[in-house]
Amino acid sequence: MTTLANPPEVKSEAPSVVIVPGDPGPRPMSQARHRLRKAVSLVVPPFFVLAVIIGFWYFMSYVVLDAERRFLLPPPQQVLETGFLNWQNFSQILIGLWISARVAFVGLGISIVLGMSFAIAMSQARWVERSFYPWAVIVQTVPILALVPLIGFWFQYGFTSRTIVCVMISLFPIITNTLFGLKSVDRGHHDLFTLHRAGRFRRLWKLQLPAALPAIFTGFRIAAGLSVIGAIVGDFFFQQGQAGIGRMIDNYTESLQSQQLFAAVIMAVLLGLSIFWAFGLLGRLVVGSWHESAHHVEDDS
């Protein structure tokens, strides 16, 4: 036994190695607590804003507006009672919502198929891109309202026309995002496929499409939000057949049923949000295991 100044727990045969007392390592509680704090910091701010908005709403309804003009902004509990808790009113809103949602779903589906086909074709040959891209831009920039009378004239004033408007509004972001994704594949990755003489189809299927998935899903999400807008715009103009939520918002406005009007607007917003979220979730499921964006961005909605 040595009686040198070394404390017994430090090995005396390696005097040149100094053990620095440092970080004792993560404490067992800290990670769970960290996660809880993160969750709280995600949830609390938006709810705080919601509370402020509702407070402001009450203030406007009861303080700013007098009783005769209160219909302009009915207080929240009245919207809840008449718009949501009255089953007859609420079921009417739900039916309208379903009609519009169907237009949005069908329109979005057509946009996805059309948009991806166009983008893939454009990514395969420069001349296809040169021929079609300007037209895609034109379809996007043409004021849709100017075309509405024509669309109704040609395709009647029902489901078909509503869907066409929906497609015209939601197509462009799918084309541009898919094309962008397909064309921004890493050069080194392309070299690998060239080196091993992969054909066009293989390169597309095994390299370009998977690499483009994050961009494609970004396009889907943007288009999903737009498809709901498109469906509601379609409702306003093409009123043949069952009324969609857009038509009902119009009706409630005309008959000054402001409680139902607010409920219908809120439901339309929820429809847009849930499609947007659904695609965000789907994207994360498909791409999340490998793409950086899913790990750095906590919530991008």
Partner 1 sequence: MVSVKASGLGPSVGANGETPSGILFDRVTKTFKDGTVAVEEFSTAVAPGEFVAIVGPSGCGKSTLLRIASGLTAATSGSVRADQDSLGYVFQDPTLLPWRTTLRNIELFAELHDLPKEERRRRAADAIVLTGLEGFETHRPRALSGGMRMRVSLARSLALQPNVFLFDEPFGALDEITRERLNGELLRIFEQQRFAGLLVTHSVSEAVYLSDRVLVMSPRPGRVVAEVAVPLERPRRDSLRFDPEFVRLTRTVSDALRQEYQ
Contact residues toward partner 1 (CB under 8 A) are 186, 188-189, 191-198, 202, 206-207, 210-211, 213, 287, 289-292
Instruction: Take residue 211 and report the two structure tokens written for it.
Output: 């690499």
Instruction: Take residue 172 and report the two structure tokens written for it.
Output: 């462009």
Tell me the closest approach of the beta carbon of residue 177 to partner 1, in angstroms. 18
Residue closer to partner 1, measured from CB, 168 or 211: 211
Tell me the closest approach of the beta carbon of residue 292 to partner 1, in angstroms. 7
H or E segment and range at residue 17: none
Residue closer to partner 1, measured from CB, 126 or 196: 196
Residue closer to partner 1, measured from CB, 3 or 289: 289
Residue closer to partner 1, measured from CB, 66 or 298: 298
Tell me the closest approach of the beta carbon of residue 191 to partner 1, in angstroms. 6
Close Cβ partners of 71 (under 8 Å, ≥ 6 residues apart): 256, 258
Contact 42, 298 (CB under 8 A): yes
Cα dihedral sign, 224-137-139-109: negative
- State the Cα–Cα distance between residues 72 and 253, nearest whole angstrom: 10
Tell me the closest approach of the beta carbon of residue 202 to partner 1, in angstroms. 7
Tell me the closest approach of the beta carbon of residue 42 to partner 1, in angstroms. 23
Contact 139, 170 (CB under 8 A): no
Residue closer to partner 1, measured from CB, 148 or 294: 294
Task: Tell me the C-alpha to C-alpha distance, in Å, between residue 8 and each of 2, 12, 49.
Answer: 9, 8, 59
